Amino acid sequence: MNKKLVKWFEDAWYKEMYISAWLMPWSMLYVDAIRLRRFLYRIGVLKKTRLPVPVIIVGNITVGGTGKTPLVIWMVEFLKQNGYKPGVISRGYAGAASTSPQAVTADSDPAQVGDEAVLLAKRCACPVVVGAERVAAGRQLLSSNACDVLISDDGLQHYALERDIEIVVIDGQRRFGNGYCLPVGPLREPPERVKHVDLVVVNGPNELLEGELPMHCKGQQLINLKTGERKLLSDFNGMACNAVAAIGNPARFYTQLAAADLDCQTHAFPDHHLFTAEDLQFKDSRPVLMTEKDAIKCARFASDQYWYLPIDAELPEAFSQQLLKLLKDKAHG
């Protein structure tokens, strides 16, 4: 989509800009279609498939990034520590693989399977399979791996896959924008959808509503993309840098760098943008800082000026306890 058009929609969704009245009927039709689709799944006209292990959906109801991937990485590690053998399925957004579903490793080509999937395979050290059809992806993963729980990165609206636990992640700063569904607002489903999930996680320091649990994403070290050298983020205090981001909400990354007292010239790209070396050829010799997801796509042409910031999620004990209880209490096929 054209960058200017994307910016227009984001302003309309999150900055209370006036929306032309002619868009509202499309939003109403969209909501009606969403509700009808859910109803057809509920009464069995559209079929759901249950896999032989528990399925946990980590999703959102808004367009753009909310912090699902750091939560999935945290959950994989947490479940391993508690005796589970997790696997991860994902859509593989922006991947161009000719076969689907497809297993993903840390060495897979992000142009084929998507940047988030490669990041998950790298950080989770567990089986990862991508595919537009989540049921097929889950079946392939289970056919060749001894996993006893599946985590679906995104897929809240993919109702063909029966799920045992639903977790919604909300951007604590942007939340639901203007509160309308597409195309008038950023919502994939009406706000009341959140009332019907098992856990609601808010990414960011903002005030929580009743029943919501906080998640904080922190990064302390920058890693050189070419050499692997590590430096504290504080080592770059006051330094002039270029900061690039091709994520759903680049402002979150830029704010984190600014909070560390970095003087960054920011360069935002569309979410999942497949970088080329030319994209990062700036007219200066400043370090280029990026997210870990973007680093996945820049490794093949990295220079020693490229640094990325790994992010780790922090969640409260209440989330850990509720997740384990849900896994034990849910009935599985």
Secondary structure element (H or E) that encloses residue 293, with its range: helix 292-298
Q: Is 65 annotated as a binding residue?
A: yes
Helix axes 68-81, 317-329, angle to 10 degrees: 70
Question: What is the chain's length?
Answer: 333
Q: Is 248 annotated as a binding residue?
A: no
- 3-state SS, residue 6: helix
Residue 143 burial (CB count, 10 A): 8
Q: Is 88 annotated as a binding residue?
A: no
Q: Is 80 annotated as a binding residue?
A: no
- 3-state SS, residue 178: coil
Q: Is 68 annotated as a binding residue?
A: yes
d(CA 196, CA 312) in angstroms, rounded, equals: 27
Structure tokens belonging to residue 97: 């693989």
Radius of gyration (Cα) for the chain, nearest Å?
20
Q: Is 211 annotated as a binding residue?
A: no
Q: Is 66 annotated as a binding residue?
A: yes
Closest alpha carbon to 30 in 54, 63, 55, 3: 63
Annotated binding-site residue numbers for ATP: 62-69
Annotated binding-site residue numbers: 62-69
